[in-house]
Amino acid sequence: MALAPTIDGKDAVGPRWPGLGAWGPALALVAVWLVLIAATGLYRPDFLSHQTLLAVTFTMSIVGVLAVAQALVAISGGFLDLSQPSGLILSGLVTVRLAEAGMPMPVLILGALATGAAWGLVNATIIVLAKLNPVIVTLATNFIGLAALFLLFQLAQVPRGTAIHEFGRTSLLGLPAIWWPMAALILVAGFFLPRTRVGRRAIAVGGNRQAARARGISLPRTRIAIFTLSGALVGLASVLFVASSGPFNPGSANFLQLNVIASVILAGVSLAGGRGNLWLLFPSVGFLSTIPTTLVFFGLASDWQLIFQGFILVFAVAFDGYRARRAP
């Protein structure tokens, strides 16, 4: 394809991989993931071990939950939530403080969910009232949030011996306990998004706001609902985060951001909104979480993982753009 005179890929509609239907990209993603596992296994048979499975699934847990939250924002036309690190650390801090006060596990979880939801609601309120783009609003609130958190505390950690500390270190059915909430969330959210009224409204708003409004869907209400829900999921991620990590500071969640956004894009969720299957987050998060372990088995320092993840992302979005442009 020659250099196109205009960039107009976003208008493309219709089945993108004829024949395989909507499952084409999914199969491609799973295939790439399996090839990676098979290739590493052939090169180093000891890669295919329970140890590797534990490492990969552990990495998947927190990123997976955050990716669902991020994908909901993107699908509903909110582009990106760049304030996830602040929301995660804020909810995590609340969880730690509750754990230090000796509260039982359900209270910790409720506290984290409520804090995360409140953070999402703050973002949504600014976005809806000032009619500002979520990317910029969340960029600003993340600046403010992280700085405020640094003024609040330097290091925090859940006390040893508490239930949540145990939860972060035990395994269930051969996998880390923190992996199961993530897997359940992807399954449930992926099932309900296209099958419930609020889910379909979110997709409709993301796809075409004017059309959605014409159908009587309230844009501000949908935005507030999605950002609050997404924030609550960040709160859930914070429970997994504080349970499994050691002492953390307000900057400890920053490194997650890139992986989360990369997972969402690799899963085929359109940043322009209106398109995305949450179930595909499972292979995309899994694939990106396998890379670090794979590299270790190929004898490369862990520093190399970012290079691979970065170029995979560039390649994936270039491929996605190319496909969207070629579609009728």
Partner 1 sequence: MTITSAQPDRFEIWRERLSGSVASITITFIIVMAVGLLWVGPRFVSTSNIGIIGSFLVVPLIVGACAGFALLAGVVDLSIGSMVGFASALFAIQIAGGMDPWIAAPLTLLACVAMGAINALAIVHFGADAIAATLGMLTALRGMTWVITGIGGASGAIFAFHPGLFGMANSRVLGLPVLFLLAIVLSLIAAGVVTKTRLGRHVQAVGGDDKAAARAGIPVARVRTFALLLSAFGAGVAGIVFVAQLGSAARATGFGLEFQVYAALMIGGYSILRGGVGNPVGGMLGLLVVAGVSNIIELKAISPYYTNIIVGALLLGAVLLDRLRGGDPYE
Q: Say which DSSP state 172 is in.
A: E
Determine, following the binding rule CB under 8 A, whether residue 17 of this chain makes contact with partner 1: no
Determine, following the binding rule CB under 8 A, whether residue 136 of this chain makes contact with partner 1: yes
Structure tokens at 170: 């035990």
Determine, following the binding rule CB under 8 A, whether residue 220 of this chain makes contact with partner 1: yes
Q: Which is nearer to partner 1, 68 or 262 (CB)?
A: 262
Q: Which residue has the tokens 């990590």?
A: 245
Determine, following the binding rule CB under 8 A, whether residue 93 of this chain makes contact with partner 1: no
Determine, following the binding rule CB under 8 A, whether residue 304 of this chain makes contact with partner 1: yes
Q: What is the DSSP string of 277-326?
A: -GGGHHHHHHHHHHHHHHHHHTT--TTHHHHHHHHHHHHHHHHHHHHHHH
**Cβ–Cβ under 8 Å, residues 87 and 234:** yes
Determine, following the binding rule CB under 8 A, whether residue 312 of this chain makes contact with partner 1: yes
Please pick, from the candidates 32, 55, 139, 327, the single residue that binds partner 1 as defined by CB under 8 A. 139
Q: What is the DSSP string of 18-70?
A: TTTGGGHHHHHHHHHHHHHHHHHHHH-GGGSSHHHHHHHHHHHHHHHHHHHHH
Determine, following the binding rule CB under 8 A, whether residue 225 of this chain makes contact with partner 1: no
Closest CB 17 distance from partner 1, rounded Å: 17
Site string for partner 1, 21-60 (x = CB under 8 A): ----------------------------------------
Span interacting with partner 1, options 50-58, 90-98, 134-142, 173-181, rule CB under 8 A: 134-142
Site string for partner 1, 154-193 (x = CB under 8 A): ----------------------------------------
Query: Other CB atoms closer than 10 Å to residue 309's CB: what's the count?
Result: 19
Handedness of CA 223, 225, 230, 231 (dihedral sign): positive
- Indicate the burial class of 193 (C-beta count within 10 angstroms; 0-12, 13-18, 19 or more): buried
Q: Is 6 helix (H, G, I), strand (E, B) or coil?
A: coil
Q: Which residues bind partner 1 (CB under 8 A)?
A: 1, 3-9, 80, 126-127, 130-137, 139-144, 146-148, 150-151, 209, 219-220, 254, 258, 261-262, 265, 271-272, 301, 303-322, 324-325
